[in-house]
Amino acid sequence: MDIGAFMSWASPALPYLKSKASDIPITVTQGPWLAAIGNLFAILGLLSCPTIMNKIGRKYTILFFGLIQLISWLFIYFSRNFLFLLIGRIISGIGYGGNGIVLPVYIGEVSGKIIRGRFLNFIKISSNFGSFMMVSAGAFLPYHTMNLVMISLPVTGILLLLLASESPYYYLMEGRDNEAVDVLMKLSSVKKPETVMEDIKRMKNAIEENDKLKKSSIQEIFADRGSRKAFIIFVIVQFTYCFSGYFGIRAYAQEILSYSNSPVAPEYETMILMGFQIFGGLPSALLIDHYGRRPAYLLSGILSAVTLGVGGLFFFMKFFMEADVSSFTWIPLTSLIFFFVVCNMGIGSLPYIYAGELFSVNTKGTALIGGGLVVSLGGFLAKILLPIINNEAGIYTGFWGFSVFCITGPIIIWFTMPETKGKNLEQVLVLLKTKNKKCRDIIC
């Protein structure tokens, strides 16, 4: 939830900070840096995360980066000039980058294969709810009170996580087999150790097989066919996610909606928008686990491209054609509502799911760093470039550019990626290594 609040902070904050009422005045050129700088410094979090989570465990790594997120909110709350605000956003980016890596790893390792997709998708649903809380606080509360309320998110997360279990994979990697058995029994709701021994054996075999490899994880990713393919697929879905419009529109939603001249205030329209995207994540969990990853992703891409195209058409008619669109001011909000709903059905959800189910224990950390670098740099560029594109080429150009990315990525995945629904981590790795389609069907 706090990650979602971080991603949407700029939407309610920048209009206030750039207004005459602000006690922390910023310029038009400084605003995009506050929106984007966290994505760039998320690289520090994601680079350090694999080492930390292998040293202290998945659970305590989440707690560590949660504490960093808490510090960032305190920094933002007490900031009274642009420089300190920028530092607060930098700190928040580090926490965002670290937890963006460890959360999919942790959930992928503690959830069963039947429900893993739903649990990994819940990261996205929670993030959406955090965005809704952020823009709602911005709509009804003064700027500084809004930031104070957001401090409650990492505090609540830290307190609740103290009740959670460590990953059984981590215990097995540390040679603490008895603790791994106890945790897996708890997670599986069984009382007899022999019930989980088959799963323990499968996990140990996977870990031992990876430990035998002499290559580094980076070498293994590119030397092993399955790992190489998984990494390329992961980079494609992350790249599509960044430039689908989700990052840019989410950061500047309030400003974008103000261009429509709707009778509804843009801050309330933004709250409605973020509220609808929560529900957009709910059916995606069922779609992804019932119909499969690929069909849900392709459908999401097609519908996202259409909705962005419609929104772009409205702004093209208004600003380029200078047509009278006063009777259609509802179109931008409606098109963005549908965009966020359908984007969350696949484009915004699959990166989280693939992060937890495509990689072996040995390559997962390195692969997620690579994907995280794509998200960090891509998200930074999307947020920095969108205001420039809007000013130089028109807001409709940004909308239509995003729609092209929305359709291109899912088409590539549809033709190159086998279905991973209902597979455990080891089956997925075998599936990716298999060249023959008939053999893949047998595995499926």
Cα within 13 Å of Cα(98), Cβ side: 25
Q: List % helix, strand, coil for the chain (3-state, nearest 5).
A: 80, 0, 20
Helix (H) or strand (E) holding 84: helix 82-110
Tens of pLDDT, residue by residue, the chain (444 residues):
999 999 899 999 999 999 888 989 888 889 999 999 998 999 999 889 888 988 899 999 999 999 999 999 999 999 989 999 999 999 999 998 899 888 888 888 888 777 777 787 788 788 889 999 999 999 999 999 999 999 999 999 999 999 988 988 888 888 888 888 888 888 888 888 887 888 888 888 777 766 655 455 666 677 677 778 888 999 999 999 999 998 899 889 999 999 988 888 999 999 999 888 777 656 666 677 777 888 889 999 999 999 999 999 999 999 999 899 989 999 999 999 999 888 888 898 888 788 777 877 677 777 878 888 888 899 999 999 999 898 889 999 999 999 999 999 999 999 888 787 777 667 777 777 766 554 444 444
Per-residue pLDDT tens over the stretch 329-370: 999 999 999 998 888 888 988 887 887 778 776 777 778 788
User: C-alpha dihedral over 303, 133, 35, 60, to 10 degrees?
Assistant: -100
For residues 196 and 201, give the distance between their C-alpha atoms in angstroms, rounded to a whole number: 9
Query: Is pTM, for the whole model, over 0.75?
Result: yes
Residue 63 in contact with residue 47, Cβ under 8 Å?
no
Helix (H) or strand (E) holding 384: helix 361-393
Cα separation of the two ends of the chain: 34
For residues 361 and 106, give the distance between their C-alpha atoms in angstroms, rounded to a whole number: 11
Residue 358 in contact with residue 367, Cβ under 8 Å?
yes
Residue 351 in contact with residue 376, Cβ under 8 Å?
no
